[in-house]
Amino acid sequence: MVWKTALRALASLVAVAVAVGLAIAPQPSAQTPAASARHPKLVLAVQPTSTPEQLSADAKELREFLSQRLHREVEIVFPMTYAGVVEALRFGHAQAAFMSAWPAQLAVKHARAEVALAEVREVVIGQEKKAETYYFSYWVVAKDSPVQRLEQLRGKRAVFPSPLSTSGYVAPLARLVELGLVPQQAGKEADPKAFFGDVRFAGGYAQGWEALKARQADVAIIAGDVSETLYRDVLAGTRVIEQQGPIPSHAVLFARDLDQAAKTQLRDALLDLGQPQHRGLMRKLVSGIFVGFKATTAEQHLAALDKFLAQTQLAFVERLH
């Protein structure tokens, strides 16, 4: 009986000690493993626009802003290629991403990602500056060119900014197909060389403008989402002979396995970036003409791009440099 009584007393002392220990033990904070388990790190991928070193430095304030709003650690990563962003969403290495329209369409198709937000940007449509989630691009010729319509450029020299540009190549090529100037063949990419005598990619809109000024091309492309200075400069020195659009702006995508609560929190935090005091966080990192975000879906935001791709049958081929 004595040993049973002693065991009961020992058990009581252990229970009391455990209770006291729990009472005085520090509670888990946002930085403790327990909190991390409840709120795992959220990784946001951004398609490449500069060197990783510069992007990482520019992302610091945005990362801190989102971490504070979401009450979890946020990491912003910069895959070296557009395809890397799509793959990060596809294989769960990132839970969200900032992407331009064509890579976003690929992420929806191959990673089953969700388009959640469209970027509202300061763009110029015609001669008017607007805040929109879309814009247009324009075929331009020199002011003294005798050309009045695209049809008159058969066999002439065309310069495009990039084969990966939605506004500078995909949409203009779709317009050529739509006008019957470039044939549409099932299973084959539309080829602007079927109409133009010479096709070159200058590397950007400014370079295309320089080629046109230097008489190295007969027609070039300008888009309403470039810097307003460049846009106004090009339009002042050229004539617009054709346009295409609407062309969708950049988008925010969520990975398919991101839970609904996290989607809602992240969406709300990103919408807050549209407040004037926060816009600089995005302008520094992703887009210098950022105004805010607007809730959308892939069907709403990418419908025009889907049409362009159906007309041209273009495949996204990324070249590593």
Q: Mind listing the domains of the chain with CATH numbers?
A: 33-122+249-297 (3.40.190.10), 134-248 (3.40.190.10)
The distance from CA 266 to its chain's CA centroid, rounded to whole angstroms, is: 16
What pLDDT does 49 receive?
A: 67
* Radius of gyration in angstroms for the set of CA atoms belonging to the chain, rounded to a whole number: 27
pTM over 0.85: no
> 3-state SS string over 281-320?
HHHHHCCCCEEEEEECCHHHHCHHHHHHHHHHCCCCCCCC
| Ordered mean pLDDT values, 10 residues apiece, the chain (321 residues) | 36 35 35 51 85 77 95 92 92 95 94 97 96 98 97 98 94 98 92 98 97 98 96 97 97 96 96 95 88 97 97 75 36
Tokens of 205: 């809109």
What pLDDT does 285 receive?
A: 83
What pLDDT does 40 receive?
A: 86
What pLDDT does 37 receive?
A: 47
Tokens of 52: 């990783």
CA distances from 288 to 81, 101, 215, 227, 279 (A): 21, 17, 31, 9, 9
Which is nearest to 230 in space by CA: 249, 215, 208? 208
DSSP for 37-100 reads HHS--EEEEE--SS-HHHHHHHHHHHHHHHHHHHTS-EEEE--SSHHHHHHHHHTTS-SEEEE-
152: Cα within 13 Å, side-chain hemisphere: 12
Tell how strand 157-160 and strand 96-99 pair up.
unpaired
What pLDDT does 31 receive?
A: 41
Asked, as a colleague might, if the bond just before 246 is cis with ω within 30 of 0, I would say: yes
The residue behind tokens 């729990």 is 22
Per the rule left: phi > 0, alpha: psi between -120 and 50, beta: everything else, 242 is beta
